Amino acid sequence: MKTVFMGTPVFSLSCLEALLDAGHEVAAVFTQPDKPRNRGKQIQMTPVKECALKHDIPVYQPLSLRKGEDAERSLAVLRDIAPDCIVVVAYGQILPRKILELPKYGCINVHASLLPKYRGAAPMQRCIQDGEKVTGVTTMYMAEGLDTGDMIMKTEVAITPEMTGSELHDLLSAAGAELIVKTLSALEDGTAVRTPQTGDTCYAAMITKEELKLDFTKPAEAVHNFIRAMSDAPCTYTFLDGKRLKVYRAALSGMVSSAPAGTVADPEKFAVVCGDGRCVEFTEIQPEGGKRMDAASFLRGKKLEKGALLG
């Protein structure tokens, strides 16, 4: 099948590579414009662009597909290619109706949740944050609404009690790659279904920098879930002695305390009191200006006082 692939981050790579491995013709790749990254602010290509160039696939990076000269040029390119299908995986732009209606088999999206739950930008982190035990990947026909199109296929992935957002990311990326290949096969042989989204839904809002600061007034389980949801990136944090302390991993503690939320209840285990009186124990952290390390190594060089207040 002749396809055009639209995607940007690492999550998209497995789907692009799976399409190529399955023998589909990827006639072009659309990805977000290159941006300055990291401390050096050097311009870096998106992961999908790097992959496309390795396979000698033409790359297009319009600022917008909905308005302006970039949108007009992009529509002309797509009409010239005349793809059978456009596959969209974490692209980061909304497609206009003219593009949605262009391919023979439509525009097919790979979304990292079991729709209609967790529509939106951060489904992997939000489902862990909410304490979900199961999530998955859904392929769907794209519509003008946000992740509202008719579903085609789903696959489930279990969320274990200590699984982090980055671990779930890798599992869902691999699951999405398998599912998109099966979906395109179903489109070609005429067995693809259209299942409207019905039932309970929720929105997985984009993660903001402001919300990453730990709120110890919440119950311990909620604090623990939030820490693992945001690990390894963008990562939660708190403040110790006025300096930022990133928290990558934590564990639920059996300790209970009547001390105020945010208090260090056990300095030897880095146990911190939460809003329900239960504690979480930091197990992997990164002090301001230092390296990422396990909490035990940190505590060998830093003496904590019982009753110290974080945040």
Spans of all domains in the chain: 2-204, 210-301
Element housing 207 (H / E): none
What's the pLDDT score for residue 36? Answer: 85
Of the candidates 276, 305, 277, 300, the one whose C-alpha atom is nearest the C-alpha of residue 287 is 300
> End-to-end distance of the chain based on CA atoms, in angstroms?
54
pLDDT in tens, 183-242: 999 999 999 999 999 999 999 999 999 999 999 999 999 999 999 999 999 999 999 999
CATH number of 2-204: 3.40.50.170
pLDDT at 140: 98
**Mean pLDDT for all residues in the chain:** 96
- Report CA-CA distances (Å) from 273 to 129, 249, 291: 19, 16, 25
Q: What is the pLDDT of residue 144?
A: 87
Q: What is the predicted pLDDT for the residue at 40?
A: 66
Provide the pairing of β-strand 264-266 with 107-111.
unpaired
CA–CA gap between residue 151 and residue 62 (Å, rounded): 28
- pLDDT < 50 positions in the chain: none
* Sign of CA pseudo-dihedral 239, 240, 243, 244: negative
Percentage of residues of the chain with pLDDT beyond 70: 99
Q: What class does CATH assign to 210-301?
A: alpha beta
